[in-house]
A and B are shown apart, each in its own frame.
Chain A
Amino acid sequence: MTKLGIAIDLERCVGCHTCANACKMQNNVPTGMLWNRVTTEGCDVIDGAVGTYPNLTRTFLPVACQHCENPACQRVCPTGATYKDEMGRVEIDYDKCIGCRMCMAACPYNARSFNWEEPVRDVDFNYGDAEVPVRPRGVAEKCTLCRERTDRGEEPMCVVCCPTHARIFGDLEDPASEVSKAVIEHKAHVLLEEQGTRPQVYYFD
């Protein structure tokens, strides 16, 4: 059994949004939508800071689908469009999605986006990976852990492009993998652990 996941070194994350655009490009994500987004924790503005000048802190937090081992979205999906695949990824079969948005209400991480209208792109062609399906209006979408790339044995685009090498990708079931070692060595944590979703995206400082 494979359990693909990512560990993110928050110390090395400089909030550059390269992962966001790498993902957008690779997955042909339409205008106004991002599957992967870098937030500035506790701040109302991009690159804000917590505290009172000059006693300040700042933590960038990249958030995408957490590929939970116990995915709340998969549980509530009425048609089985959302499923946990054999590689441990949470995926969506867009053909089966009826657009009820149960999954969006269920996801504790707000990782999902909905195609409220016919997807619009800034350019008049489909960019990114040729294998990535084009999503129609009325379906939910989100990070697929670059399914098409990881199926080919490649790393997800956000991992490849991260300028600071803050992202480690691999099989969490394999104790010898870099990602497993990083999780153990740095006592990595997950987001909203109390939700019991057992995410496969880890964070450490």
Chain B
Amino acid sequence: MSETTHPAGGLTRRGFLKTTGAAAAGLACAGAVGVAIGGGALAPTKATADGGEKTIYTLHQFMCQGNCSIKCTVRDGHLAKIEPSDAVDPKYRRCCMKGLSEIEHVYSPLRLQTPLKRVGERGEGKFEKISWDEAMEIVGTELKRAWEAYGKESVYISASNEPRFGMLASILGAGTGVEPGIDRGIGNGVDPAIGGGGFASCSNETRDWVNAKTIILSGINFLETSLMRSDDFFDAKRAGAEIIVVDPHFSTTASKANQWIPLKPGTDGALYLSMISHIIDNKWYNEDYMRAHTSMPFLLDPATGELLRSGKTPEIDPATGEAADPADYLVWDTATNAAVPCDTPGVFAALEGTYEVAGQKVVPVFEQLKASQKGYTTAWAAEKCDIDQEVIEALAEKYATGGPAYLCFGYGGSDKFSNPDIQGHAMVILTALTGQIGKPGAALGHPGGGQGYGAALAAWPLPEDMVPADIPVRADRFADTDAGVHVIISLGNTLQQYYANMNKTREWLPKLDFILHVGMYDEDSVAFADVVLPVCSKFEDTVEHSIVRGGYNHIQLSQKCIDPLFESKPDYDVMYLIAKSVGLESVLPEDAEQLARFQIDEATDPLVAGITFDALVQNHNTMPLAGIETPRIGYADLQFPTPTGRMEIYYEPQHHSGQALPQWEENNEVFDGNPLMEKYPLQLAQTRTRFFVHSHFRGAAWLAQFYTPRIELNPQAMAERGLEDGDAVEVFNDRGSFSCQAFGNNAIRPTSARIYEAAWSKDCISGNPQNVTNDHVNERDADLLTGAPIPFNDTLVEVRKA
């Protein structure tokens, strides 16, 4: 083959004249017959008379959070064209190359076509075709067997990108979870302060970016991962916002930003900690905001780390029967020189100083913060992060004094390290110090997808006893910790995508009693399954409308474009069949359209006012939510869903681990001075890309024409290893290895290696990138809202020519 062209690869400038393949070809020219000279037959693609052409408005898939409404052309029963829906406001008329690639992706030869039954070993990938009846017979038998032997909680539903099985865990009484170890970690540090659930969605939507003066994007490659909202980025820039990207690599977003701060991977926390110090040292904080809306004035005992409370009797929540936090924290009233409850009218709370309450020496949280920040100077961070001290100081000044500002992160950039909660905690403290939240142009959080208005839809009422099982162990720990799970229902490519250290996964999976895989494509997870059920894309359906979505500022309804291909079935139908296999289908609506109608028509969210199923159908299946004209501003009333309604930045329960206020903690693998670096000097970054959503779209040939899995190194790192573009390399560490092509790219930090996350094994030369990823669990796991993140990027490797 040519040296110059690689299948979807890079190129070299040599080898223009390839050695002729003539000799090798051995073509039987003389035998060539049947000269086909066509010509002239230039008929346009026009539909045949009987097939015809129809236009259908529907929605595109879920995981990317693009929430696109699309217009499809179906010709002769084929999905022939996809374009942005013209039924929505021009602002929302979007469809990216992933959506457009569905033309091919839906018909991909990699689709799972029929139910399959394993005939080889687990992981071998040997199957035989079976009928749906046979498959559901096995599923029912296996589920019942597990129920009898170990109870319902022995079944775990591992949910990935597509398909969507909302009610199955409740119906089966199985354990489930959205695998909280992935893509969230910073939120663990942010959300306890503002009462969130751990994902730390951005408090304002991105349409509001135009009102900001400074937008700091920390480790989020927004222009790729939220491509459908990239307009907001440029509109903000044009309106005068300064966009600053903090990223170890020169990402697409970094190249379009006003400033790029290239920091050492996994050191984001140090940067924000030092910004706190610098803002405090320069008194750039907002005392009024701190007093009124944060826990900065709350008194605490430095000896015990406990906050002082007045001892109010807690109220019992009638719904849960649990005691609510009385929110009775004390502050030091400078007028009366006494400790009073924080909600005392007219109180002017001290932020600094040392006081005595009942013979105890107490200090406000802010005073404690100042003390705990002592070591975190900008000079310290400059060395930790490998950036100039002046850059950090300018960033802090801009954020604190430069007008409305955003602090954004997310989509797995710095989330995928061992302790990103410290970064999140530092960020929320920066917000609390400056009051950069709850107003136009000022917000904190994960802006992925835009974070616009989202409406709550009605939930189909299931019998009260039908609730998911509470499994105390997170799924990514099953390999190490016996959680009593014996059956896995894997929806999508979870077994590869949500578990680091894949060799460990491979050892664990054979110990299970039964693995049911439900998915669209022949992904890595399929090989481990005992039974495989093929679901179809959202373009294929058995009813006219089956999915309703409270998408970005809209309610969207799906519409069938084509019949299910091969023997696949829509999500809902498969969920129904699984419920039926154990005799529980009667609790479900008969078909998905009934469910969709119920979800809309019974919705009580005021945002859904005036939107009904029938109205949606009349409006090309998309309608804007009520009141979306102005961008969503979260916490505009500065009331946070915490017990005190304030930003509670002191994490009392974490005092035992020293993280009541954020303290720097090195990563597990990627840190200076780790002796492992001598053996494995490169940090492996598995980053998100515009081309895929985790492993979804890996099977799309129209995307593979742009990118196939390869490890990217800085040309300097390539040269040190004697590598040339396109070389096959082995990426390895003590956990395992995988092989793929290597390419030099200046955008990569010289001490890192980059690959886009969740590559399928079949697209690598051998192995899977997850073979090397770190599955370390931070010791503070139990303290963290969603548990410790899976530190995929806290991974050291070496690369050598394969």
What residues make up the interface of A, taking CB atoms closer than 8 Å to B?
A: 11-12, 14-18, 20-22, 24-26, 28, 31-32, 34, 43-54, 56-58, 94-95, 118, 122-138, 157, 160-161, 163-165
Task: Determine the distance from Cα of A85 to Cα of B231 in the docked complex, in whole angstroms.
Answer: 34
Instruction: Point out the residues of chain A lying under 8 angstroms from B725, CB to CB.
Output: 44-45
Binds A, one of B42-50, B428-436, B546-554, B678-686: B42-50
Check A136/B38 contact, CB under 8 A, given A157-B83, A164-B230. yes
Query: From residue B236, how far is it (CB to closest CB) to chain A in Å?
Result: 12
Is there an interface contact between A123 and B78, defined as CB atoms closer than 8 Å?
yes
B42 touches A135 (CB 8 A): yes
Residues of chain B within 8 A (CB-CB) of A51 are 746
Instruction: Answer whether A130 and B47 are a contact pair too, CB < 8 Å, given A14-B223, A56-B747.
Output: yes
Of B44, B45, B84, B706, the residue contacting A17 (CB under 8 A) is: B706
Residues of A contacting B12 with CB < 8 Å? 44
**How many Å lie between the Cα of A137 and that of B41 in the bound state?**
11
Q: Which residues of A contact B36 (CB under 8 A)?
A: 118
CB A174 to nearest CB in B, in angstroms, measures 21
The reply to whether A132 and B228 contact each other, CB–CB distance below 8 Å, is no
Nearest CB to that of B106 among chain A residues? Answer: A123
Apart from A21-B101, A48-B745, A125-B78, what are 13 other A-B pairs with CB-CB below 8 Å? A14-B223, A14-B256, A16-B690, A25-B100, A44-B12, A45-B725, A46-B10, A127-B81, A128-B45, A130-B75, A134-B45, A161-B83, A163-B230
Residue with the greatest number of chain B CB neighbours at <10 A, chosen from A18, A49, A163: A163
Q: Say which residue of B40, B224, B747 sits within 8 Å of A49 (CB atoms).
A: B747
In the complex, chain A residues whose CB is within 8 Å of the CB of B96:
16, 18, 161, 163
Q: Kindly list chain A residues whose C-beta atoms are within 8 Å of the C-beta of B11.
A: 44
CB atoms of B82 and A25 under 8 A apart: yes
Asked whether B53 lies within 8 Å of A130 as measured between CB atoms, the reply is yes
How many angstroms from the CA of A199 to the CA of B100 in the assembled complex?
Answer: 28
Nearest CB of chain A from residue B745's CB, rounded to whole Å: 5
For B690, the chain A residues whose CB sits under 8 A away are 14, 16
Q: Is the CB of A15 within 8 A of B252?
A: yes
Residues of A within 8 A of B287 (CB): none
Q: Decide if A25 touches B81 in the complex (CB within 8 Å).
A: yes
**A-B contacts, 27 listed (Cβ < 8 Å):** A14-B223, A14-B690, A16-B96, A17-B706, A20-B97, A21-B101, A22-B97, A45-B725, A46-B706, A46-B707, A51-B746, A53-B250, A53-B746, A53-B748, A53-B749, A54-B262, A56-B747, A126-B80, A127-B80, A127-B81, A128-B81, A131-B46, A134-B42, A136-B42, A138-B39, A161-B95, A161-B96
User: What chain B residues lie within 8 Å of A46 (beta carbons)?
Assistant: 10, 706-707
In the complex, residue of chain B having the shortest beta-carbon distance to the beta carbon of A34:
B705
Q: Is the CB of B250 within 8 A of A56?
A: yes
B42 near A131 with CB under 8 A, answer: no
B contact residues around A163 at 8 Å (CB): 94, 96, 227-228, 230-231
Q: How far is it, in angstroms, between the C-alpha of A137 and the C-alpha of B746 when the chains are bound?
A: 40
CB of B255 closer than 8 Å to a CB of A: yes
User: In the complex, what residues of B have CB within 8 A of residue A132's CB?
Assistant: 44-45
Nearest chain B CB to A95 CB, angstrom units: 6
CA distance A24 to B772 in the complex (A): 37
Question: Which of A50, A56, A123, A124 has a CB less than 8 Å from the CB of B103?
Answer: A123
- The answer on a CB contact under 8 Å between A49 and B100 is no
For A118, list chain B residues within 8 Å (CB): 36
Residues in B neighbouring A14, C-beta threshold 8 A: 223-224, 227, 230, 252, 256, 690
Residue of B nearest to A31 (CB): B701
List, in ascending order, chain B residues with CB within 8 A of A26's CB.
81
Query: Which B residues have a C-beta under 8 Å from some C-beta of A?
Result: 10-13, 36, 38-47, 53, 73, 75-76, 78, 80-84, 93-97, 100-101, 103-104, 107, 223-224, 227-228, 230-231, 234, 250, 252, 255-256, 260, 262, 690, 701-702, 705-707, 712, 714, 716, 725, 743-750
Q: How far is the CB of A149 from chain B (nearest CB, A)?
A: 10
Instruction: Tell me how far the C-beta of A89 lies from the nearest C-beta in chain B, rounded to whole angstroms.
Output: 18
Which 8 A-B residue pairs are closest in the complex by CB-CB distance? A126-B45, A58-B255, A49-B747, A21-B97, A54-B262, A45-B10, A49-B746, A21-B100
Q: Which of B44, B76, B747 contacts A134 (CB 8 A)?
A: B44
- What's the nearest-Cβ distance from chain B to residue A5, in Å? 21
Residues of A within 8 A of B10 (CB): 44-46
Of all chain B residues, the one with the shortest Cβ separation from A124 is B107
Given A56-B255, A160-B84, verify A125-B76 contact (CB < 8 Å).
yes
The answer, among A49, A123, A131, for a CB contact under 8 Å with B250, is A49
Q: Which residues of B contact A58 (CB under 8 A)?
A: 250, 252, 255, 747
Closest chain A residue to B714, Cβ basis: A53
In the bound complex, how far is the Cα of B250 from the Cα of A54, in angstroms? 8
- Which residues of chain B are near A130, meaning CB under 8 Å? 44-47, 53, 73, 75, 80
Residue of A nearest to B256 (CB): A14
* Bound-state Cα–Cα, A59 to B223, Å: 14
Q: How far is the CA of A135 from the CA of B39 in the complex (A)?
A: 9
Alpha-carbon separation in the docked complex, A167 to B136 (Å): 51
Most buried by B among A95, A125, A131, A136: A125
Q: Is the beta-carbon distance between B250 and A11 smaller than 8 angstroms? A: no
Which residues of A have CB within 8 Å of B716? 53
> Is B231's CB under 8 angstroms from A94's CB?
no
CB distance from A1 to the nearest CB of B (A): 27
Residues of B within 8 A of A47 (CB): 252, 745, 747
Q: How far is the CA of A48 from the CA of B745 in the complex (A)?
A: 5
- Chain B nearest Cβ from A57, distance in angstroms: 7
* A49 and B255 contacting across the interface, CB-CB below 8 Å: yes
B100 near A22: Cβ-Cβ < 8 Å: yes
Cα of A163 to Cα of B223 in the assembled complex, Å: 10
- Give A57 to B630 CA distance when docked, in angstroms: 35
- The reply to whether A48 and B747 contact each other, CB–CB distance below 8 Å, is yes
User: Known: A16-B690, A20-B97, A48-B746. Contact between A129 and B81, CB under 8 A?
Assistant: yes
Residues of A within 8 A of B750 (CB): 53
For A15, list chain B residues within 8 Å (CB).
252
CA distance A17 to B227 in the complex (A): 11
Q: How far is the CB of A166 from chain B (nearest CB, A)?
A: 8
> Bound complex: CA of A191 vs CA of B272, how far in Å?
44
A52 to B101, CA, bound (A): 34
Q: For the complex, what is the distance from the CA of A161 to the CA of B267, rounded to whole Å?
A: 38
Within the assembled complex, what's the spacing in Å between the Cα atoms of A46 and B224? 14
Distance A20 CA – B8 CA, assembled complex (angstroms): 15
Which residues of B are found within 8 Å of A161, using beta-carbon distances? Answer: 83-84, 95-96, 100
By beta carbon, the residue of chain B nearest A157 is B83
Q: Please, how many angstroms separate the alpha-carbon atoms of A54 and B12 in the complex?
A: 23
Q: Which residues of A contact B714 (CB under 8 A)?
A: 53
Q: How far is the CB of B710 from chain A (nearest CB, A)?
A: 9
User: Would A122 and B745 be within 8 Å (CB), given that A49-B255, A133-B42 are in contact?
Assistant: no
Q: Across the interface, which residues of A come within 8 angstroms of B43, CB to CB?
A: 133-134
Given the complex of chains A and B, what is the CA–CA distance between A47 and B8 in angstroms? 13
**Contacting residues, chain B, for A52 (C-beta < 8 A):** 746
**What is the CB-to-nearest-CB distance from B686 to chain A, in angstroms, rounded to a whole number?**
16
In the complex, what distance in Å separates the CA atom of A157 from the CA atom of B73? 14
Cα A58 to Cα B224 with chains together (Å): 15
Q: Contact at A16–B227, with CB atoms within 8 Å? A: yes
B83: chain A residues within 8 A (beta carbon) = 22, 157, 160-161
What is the CA–CA distance of A154 and B230 in the complex, to the nearest angstrom?
A: 24
* B residues in contact with A44, CB < 8 Å: 10-13, 725, 743-744
User: Once the chains bind, are A164 and B231 in contact (CB under 8 Å)?
Assistant: yes
Using A14-B223, A16-B96 as known contacts, say yes or no to A95 and B42 having CB atoms under 8 A apart.
yes
Once the chains bind, are A129 and B747 in contact (CB under 8 Å)? no
Q: How far is the CB of A82 from chain B (nearest CB, A)?
A: 15
Kindly list chain A residues whose C-beta atoms are within 8 Å of the C-beta of B41: 136
Instruction: Point out the residue from A18, A31, A49, A164 that lies within 8 Å of B234, measured CB to CB.
Output: A164
Return chain B residues, CB-CB under 8 Å to A95: 40, 42
The complex places the Cα of A136 from the Cα of B11 at a distance, in Å, of 30
A50→B73 CA distance, assembly (Å): 41
Q: Are A16 and B224 in contact (CB under 8 A)?
A: yes
In the bound complex, residues from chain A placing their C-beta under 8 Å from that of B231 are 163-165
Residue of B nearest to A123 (CB): B107
- Which chain A residues border B749 with CB–CB below 8 Å? 53
